[in-house]
Amino acid sequence: MIKQETIISLLKDQKVRLTPARRALAHVFDSTAKPLSAPEILALMEKRGVMVNKTTVYRDLDRLEALGAIRPISLGGRREYYERVALAHHHHLVCLECERIEDIDLDEREILRQERSIGRAHRFTILRHSLEFFGLCQTCAYSM
Amino acid sequence: MIKQETIISLLKDQKVRLTPARRALAHVFDSTAKPLSAPEILALMEKRGVMVNKTTVYRDLDRLEALGAIRPISLGGRREYYERVALAHHHHLVCLECERIEDIDLDEREILRQERSIGRAHRFTILRHSLEFFGLCQTCAYSM
DNA sequence: ATGTTAATGCAACTAAGTTGCATTTGTCAA
DNA sequence: TTGACAAATGCAACTTAGTTGCATTAACAT
């Protein structure tokens, strides 16, 4: 999987039909580094006056995921979040109060070492992991 | 929070009204170490002939969580899972194919060290983290 | 310019969880 | 042991997140 500069350019290269809905979706991901959920994306599009049906958003998210342009991440709660694959794999810090999400970069060597040994011990082919931290951001911590 | 032998005994100690629904819920957690979701608990209770309304299950899960008897864990998907707090904090290995969940025990020192430094750097009060591994169990890996 | 096939919109559906409110029931004090 | 009363429950209706089937529309290779 070649890392493209933008999702739009990846769609072109992969000969995926470039519809208005997909342009809008690609633009949303190309213009933010934040993890986004389908309801958030729908709201964003509506705010910008782009009317796209939610079914289309869900289907195009699946498509972008299949193309390797975005990846799903679980941040607790019932929504699935997605972020651009082009961003290096990293982890998240989630405020339990206001849902603010911050990206964090950490040294994964230790985790990857453990991942390998767990895979061996449990006879699992481990494909990915998720490491997320939950707590209170400064603002919310003060206002409690 | 004192770790009780069973959730039932914790409810007694905390002077929480011991209703049939709570006994049943406590029993479910006291008799398994597996993470359980509300729909799974409902199904289990029904199979055992204990009729409890789903509203009650959700409310009692919140209660048990507030009492520190169980903790929520996110395993991807749209269901929230819970497991007994009395079990030492640990992590999970989830098969993406058959949803089999295995507990794993790993050396957390490195993660906790990073947790502290992230908290400082981002000015977050980190309360907990979740580290889950996803992949294919031996059975599913072979049958693909 | 057009035919083919993929993409879209819509409505209806499912699953998981929540809320308001009337009724029932544990528990404590008398 | 028995009430009183707050707490817990059940029920129905609702919300949120996501899915499915199907008829219509539109991208794009030719």
CATH number at residue A10: 1.10.10.10
Q: Does the CB of A16 fall within 7 Å of any strand C atom?
A: yes
Those nucleotides of strand C lying less than 7 Å from any protein Cβ are 6-11, 15-20, 25-28
Which of B60, B87, B114 is where one domain is finished?
B87
Q: Does the CB of A23 fall within 7 Å of any strand C atom?
A: no
Tell me the three state secondary structure of residue B90.
coil
Q: What percent of chain B has pLDDT over 90?
A: 44
Which regions in chain B score pLDDT beneath 50? 1-4
Helix residue spans in chain B (DSSP H): 7-13, 20-30, 38-47, 54-66, 109-122, 138-142
A106 and A83 in one domain?
no
Helix residue spans in chain A (DSSP H): 7-13, 20-30, 38-47, 54-66, 109-122, 138-142
Taking residue A126's Cβ as centre, other Cβ atoms within 10 Å add up to 18
Report the alpha-carbon distance of residue B27 to residue B18 in Å, rounded. 12
Q: How many domains does chain A have?
A: 2
Rounded average pLDDT over A10-29 = 92
Residue A1 has pLDDT above 50, yes or no: no
pLDDT for the residue B127:
82
pLDDT for the residue B143:
60
pLDDT for the residue B140:
79
Q: Which of A 80-109 have CB under 7 A of nucleic chain C?
A: none
pLDDT for the residue A3:
45
Report the alpha-carbon distance of residue B44 to residue B22 in Å, rounded. 14
Beta bridge partners of B70: B84
Chain centroid to Cα A93, Å, comes to 14
End-to-end CA distance of chain A: 46
Q: For the segment B94-108, what is each residue's pLDDT rounded down to a tens digit? A: 887 777 889 888 888
Q: Does the CB of B80 fall within 7 Å of any strand C atom?
A: yes
Report the alpha-carbon distance of residue A124 to residue A126 in Å, rounded. 6
Residue ranges of chain B whose CB lies within 8 Å of a chain A CB = 72, 74-78, 80, 93, 95-96, 102, 104, 106-107, 110-111, 114-115, 118-119, 122-138, 141
A141 and A74 in one domain?
no
Residues in chain B: 144
pLDDT for the residue B3:
44
Tell me the three state secondary structure of residue A81.
strand
Which of A46, A68, A87 is where one domain is finished?
A87
CA atom of A5 to C1′ atom of D4, Å: 71
pLDDT for the residue A5:
65
A20 and A79 in one domain?
yes
CATH number at residue A106: 3.30.1490.190
CA atom of B118 to C1′ atom of D16, Å: 33
B115 and B75 in one domain?
no
CB-based contact A130 B125, cutoff 8 Å: no
A69 and A8 in one domain?
yes
A33 and A14 in one domain?
yes
Q: For the segment A108-126, what is each residue's pLDDT rounded down to a tens digit? A: 888 889 999 999 999 988 8
Segments forming the whole domain that contains residue A93: 88-144
Q: Which residue has the tokens 């995926």?
A: A16
Between residues B101 and A59, which one has the greater pLDDT?
A59
Q: Which of A 6-25 have CB under 7 A of nucleic chain D?
A: 15, 17-20
Triad A85, A126, B32: Cα angle to 5°: 120
pLDDT for the residue A69:
92
Report the alpha-carbon distance of residue B92 to residue B72 in Å, rounded. 13
pLDDT for the residue B2:
38
Q: For the segment A36-53, what is each residue's pLDDT rounded down to a tens digit? A: 999 999 999 999 999 999
Residues of A in contact with B123 (CB under 8 A): 137-138
CA atom of A136 to C1′ atom of C15, Å: 30
B82 and B35 in one domain?
yes
Residue ranges of chain A whose CB lies within 8 Å of a chain B CB = 74-78, 80, 93, 95-96, 102, 104, 106-107, 110-111, 114-115, 118-119, 122-138, 141
What is the DSSP annotation of B114-130?
A: HHHHHHHHHTEEEEEEE
**Residue A135, phi then psi, degrees to nearest 5:** 180, -150
B98 and B58 in one domain?
no
Q: What percent of chain A has pLDDT over 70?
A: 94
B81 and B22 in one domain?
yes
B11 and B75 in one domain?
yes
Which of B41, B63, B87 is where one domain is finished?
B87
Residue A59 has pLDDT above 90, yes or no: yes
Which pair of tokens denotes residue A128?
């990915």
B109 and B46 in one domain?
no
Determine the angle formed by the axes of helices A38-47 and A54-66, rounding to 10 degrees.
120
A54 and A99 in one domain?
no
B36-37/B80-84 β-pairing: antiparallel
